[in-house]
Amino acid sequence: MTGSRDPSRTRLIVCAFSLVVAFAGLGARAVDLHLFPDERVVSRKARQEEKKLILSPRRGALYDAKGRVMATSMPTPSVYADPSRVSNAALTAKKLGRLLSEQPEKLRKKLAASDRRFVWIARRVDPAIGKKIEQLKLEGIKVSTEWARLYPLKEAAAQVIGAVGDGDKGIEGIERYYDHLLRNDDSVVRAERDGRGRAIFAREVRQLEPEPGGDLYLTIDTVLQHLVEKEISASMEQSGSLSATGVLMNPQSGEVLALATLPRVNPNRLADTDVAKWRNRAVEEVFEPGSTFKIITIAGALESGALTADERVLCKKGSLRVGGRTIVTEKEHEWLNAEGILKYSDNIGAARVALSLGKERMFEWIKKFGFGEKTGVGTPSEVSGLLSRPSKWKDLDLANHGYGQGIGVTAIQMARAVSIVANGGRSVRPYIVDRAEFRDGSQVVIRPTETHRRVLSEKTAARLTSWLESVTEPGGSGSLAAPPSYRVAGKTGTAQKIDSSTGSYSHQRVVSSFVGFAPVSDPKLVFFVAFNEPKKADFGGMLAAPVFRNVMESALSYLGVPADRVAARVSSASVLPQESDLEPVPQLTGVPDLRGLTVREVLREARRLALSVNVIGTGVAVRQSPSPGEEASARSRLDVVFSEESPI
């Protein structure tokens, strides 16, 4: 059968053939690309298909010794612009200005820089404002997320913690010193993307959350920090001092529990703060210690045999001529032993002890107590103080060193030196960061692990403790340092400062300080406090000693340390009633039978009946005087004997 071919059928065949050829060609090319990949094609495919995400990890947080947050990071919106894509700069600036509380003109200038592709409009803004700006969908305006560092305790320990600058980098304090542990590098994650540009995380799923930096656990206790700052701040204001410093540490371990520098700064307002106020004065400021340094002079002389405990030193009634100069003090003691030199803070006595010790040995003991070198407490910019070689000393320098003039120390060095006496003679290294903890559970231990070197014999340490306790007793130069409940030991200091205009010591410009420890029976805390250039009450015993008393009393109570002052054990304790607390007073007809009751129960009963109780022993009450039923007036005193073994 012949006939003309259907033209539509022919076209269909041609089309089908063409399609088969085309698909065959594509298939062949696909096979070719799979088997023999072309690098240019592969890289182009990767560019089109892959999405690169830069993930900034969270900076590690700072916690205090009890796990309270001191610093943390929060994702916060930041607004930026691509001026080349902003069509109406004036209108955009007006809309943004309203939300950001900024001058529209200032913003307009930024947006008008059409030659630039990127300009920050506002960084780390309130999340609600960031959201509103996003919702406006302004041309050329974008909102990204940046980490913002927050310090919830504001000024507390600000100079210790420090601050973070742009790029999430620590610029001051612990934030700077431990930046390498706190901060982790940005990580890049590659993901496939769909037609709308959304990421498809088929690979590298584990890397979706970047590894945050380590969290640091400090030895600072924020309650103690607040206590120290509050007490120092009040006295600084009253005395009109330029600045003040306080260091509270554990003399047994070297843990720094509070480190205060005043005036204070707020790390949340970095831009508004005077740079000079950021100095951590406790480790960066050098001052002449004055009489507090007599502890080191006497300790060195005792330990090296240059002075015996009972030996009397001629104090020349307040005047001593050394190297052609006369050292004069207001004290007029003829003879004093070591205890007397400390108790009455006699400069002539201390100078004579230093002279008997000699330059080399004095230098050696100053070094043994850790002066002239950094403590390694773990903050940036720590200084080692000022200590010249003994070969450069004249006799006058040696005598001056004896009572803490002519030498430069830091507050943390003084606290460490006195810790040696407090803990029975061992050197400890102060530290402020205990450890870093990471998300994977690993830890970096920062606390010192070295064994404590012995500096003083236990006997010398005990003697010094006893003598320093006498300083705080009535008649001593530091009697205002003694709290009612704890036995304390310490030393006052009032050091003259060099007047830069005359080059000699000024009588008006001084550093008033006190350093000591408590409780004497088992020292738990060492506290050093210094006021720079007070205008009023400039003697250490008048200004710094009361601060020491208040801090020690409250801090030891907060730590649950038992009182060790005998007189305070019951009569001054808060467990006993105050007159004003006890209204109305019950009228007693006879003393109740307290036998068989515990100490707590007896005290509760006594409080109810307005009786003053003298507690003798522990356990349960076995005897009492007056006896049960005997007549006693309200507020009369009752002796109760307790025993661990019940007589019943």
For other proteins, which residue of 207, 266, 557, 612 counts as binding (CB under 8 A)?
Answer: 557
Residue 641, helix vs strand vs coil: strand
Closest to other proteins by CB, 264 vs 279, is 264
Question: Does 423 interact with other proteins (rule: CB under 8 A)?
Answer: no
Question: Does 553 interact with other proteins (rule: CB under 8 A)?
Answer: yes
- The secondary element (H helix, E strand) that includes residue 470 is helix 458-471
Q: Are 518 and 510 in contact (CB under 8 A)?
A: no
Residue 542, helix vs strand vs coil: helix
Residue 527, helix vs strand vs coil: strand
- What is the Cβ-side half-sphere exposure of residue 601, based on CA atoms within 13 angstroms? 12
Q: Are 333 and 317 in contact (CB under 8 A)?
A: yes
> Could you tell me which residues are beta bridge partners of residue 72?
150
- 500 burial via Cβ count (<10 Å: 0-12, 13-18, 19+): exposed
Question: Does 222 interact with other proteins (rule: CB under 8 A)?
Answer: yes
Helical packing angle, 359-368 and 395-402, nearest 10°: 40
Question: Does 473 interact with other proteins (rule: CB under 8 A)?
Answer: no
Q: Are 174 and 433 in contact (CB under 8 A)?
A: yes
Q: Name residue 639's amino acid.
A: D
For other proteins, which residue of 27, 37, 152, 323 counts as binding (CB under 8 A)?
Answer: 152
For other proteins, which residue of 101, 326, 574, 580 counts as binding (CB under 8 A)?
Answer: 574
Record the tokens describing residue 29, joined without a space: 């090319």
Question: Does 154 interact with other proteins (rule: CB under 8 A)?
Answer: yes
Of the listed pieces 15-23, 159-167, 221-229, 467-475, which binds other proteins according to CB under 8 A? 221-229
Residue 359 is given by DSSP the state H
Closest alpha carbon to 311 in 329, 337, 291, 333: 337
> Shortest Cβ distance from residue 326 to other proteins (Å)?
45
Of the listed pieces 146-154, 243-251, 397-405, 472-480, which binds other proteins according to CB under 8 A? 146-154
Q: Are 593 and 557 in contact (CB under 8 A)?
A: no
Closest alpha carbon to 253 in 525, 503, 444: 525
Question: Does 219 interact with other proteins (rule: CB under 8 A)?
Answer: no
Nearest 5°: the CA angle 173, 178, 181 is: 150
Closest to other proteins by CB, 205 vs 276, is 205
> Shortest Cβ distance from residue 604 to other proteins (Å)?
14
Q: Which residues have C-beta within 8 Å of that of residue 418, sequence separation ≥ 6?
A: 251, 292, 295, 490, 515, 516, 517, 526, 528
Closest to other proteins by CB, 344 vs 514, is 514
For other proteins, which residue of 1, 35, 54, 202 counts as binding (CB under 8 A)?
Answer: 202
Question: Does 156 interact with other proteins (rule: CB under 8 A)?
Answer: yes
> Could you tell me which residues are beta bridge partners of residue 643?
620
* Site for other proteins, residues 36 to 65, rule: CB under 8 A: none
For other proteins, which residue of 479, 617, 626, 635 counts as binding (CB under 8 A)?
Answer: 617
Q: Name residue 4's amino acid.
A: S
Helical packing angle, 294-304 and 458-471, nearest 10°: 140
Q: Are 344 and 471 in contact (CB under 8 A)?
A: no
For other proteins, which residue of 88, 572, 625, 646 counts as binding (CB under 8 A)?
Answer: 572
Closest to other proteins by CB, 155 vs 284, is 155
Question: Does 75 interact with other proteins (rule: CB under 8 A)?
Answer: yes
Closest to other proteins by CB, 319 vs 618, is 618
Closest to other proteins by CB, 163 vs 327, is 163
φ, ψ of residue 208 to 5 degrees: the values are -65, -35
For other proteins, which residue of 54, 205, 276, 445 counts as binding (CB under 8 A)?
Answer: 205
> Shortest Cβ distance from residue 303 to other proteins (Å)?
32
Record the tokens describing residue 373, joined without a space: 């070198």
For other proteins, which residue of 132, 190, 226, 331 counts as binding (CB under 8 A)?
Answer: 226
- What is the Cβ-side half-sphere exposure of residue 94, based on CA atoms within 13 angstroms? 4
> Shortest Cβ distance from residue 269 to other proteins (Å)?
15
Record the tokens describing residue 326, joined without a space: 């006369």
Binding mask 580-609 for other proteins (x = CB under 8 A): -------------------x----------
Encode burial over 510-546: b for 16+ CB neighbours within 10 A, e otherwise. bbbbbbbbbbbeebbbbbbbbbbbbeebbbbbbbbbb
Closest to other proteins by CB, 15 vs 24, is 24
Question: Does 153 interact with other proteins (rule: CB under 8 A)?
Answer: yes
Question: Does 616 interact with other proteins (rule: CB under 8 A)?
Answer: yes
How many Å apart are CA 247 and CA 265, to the nearest integer? Answer: 18
> Shortest Cβ distance from residue 562 to other proteins (Å)?
4
Question: Does 216 interact with other proteins (rule: CB under 8 A)?
Answer: no
> Shortest Cβ distance from residue 319 to other proteins (Å)?
42
Q: Are 462 and 472 in contact (CB under 8 A)?
A: no
Record the tokens describing residue 196, joined without a space: 């709308």
φ, ψ of residue 500 to 5 degrees: the values are -65, -25
How many Å apart are CA 288 and CA 304, to the nearest integer? Answer: 24
Binding mask 332-371 for other proteins (x = CB under 8 A): ----------------------------------------
> Shortest Cβ distance from residue 559 to other proteins (Å)?
9
Question: Does 523 interact with other proteins (rule: CB under 8 A)?
Answer: no
For other proteins, which residue of 122, 232, 436, 561 counts as binding (CB under 8 A)?
Answer: 561
Closest to other proteins by CB, 69 vs 90, is 69
* Site for other proteins, residues 477 to 506, rule: CB under 8 A: 483, 485-486
Closest to other proteins by CB, 337 vs 571, is 571
Binding mask 227-266 for other proteins (x = CB under 8 A): x--x------------------------------------
For other proteins, which residue of 90, 91, 199, 383 counts as binding (CB under 8 A)?
Answer: 199
> Shortest Cβ distance from residue 130 to other proteins (Å)?
12
Q: Are 517 and 247 in contact (CB under 8 A)?
A: no
* Number of residues engaging other proteins in binding (CB under 8 A): 54
For other proteins, which residue of 19, 573, 585, 634 counts as binding (CB under 8 A)?
Answer: 573
For other proteins, which residue of 12, 30, 200, 585 counts as binding (CB under 8 A)?
Answer: 200
Q: Where are the alpha helices (DSSP H) in 36-143?
A: 39-49, 89-100, 104-111, 127-136
Q: Are 469 and 487 in contact (CB under 8 A)?
A: yes
Question: Does 527 interact with other proteins (rule: CB under 8 A)?
Answer: no
Of the listed pieces 71-79, 182-190, 307-315, 428-436, which binds other proteins according to CB under 8 A? 71-79
Instruction: Provide the pairing of β-strand 215-218 with 62-63.
Output: parallel
Where along the sequence are the contacts to other proteins (CB under 8 A)?
68-70, 72-75, 150, 152-154, 156, 194, 198-202, 205, 208-209, 222-223, 225-227, 230, 483, 485-486, 550, 553-554, 556-557, 560-564, 566, 568-570, 572-575, 599, 615-618, 642
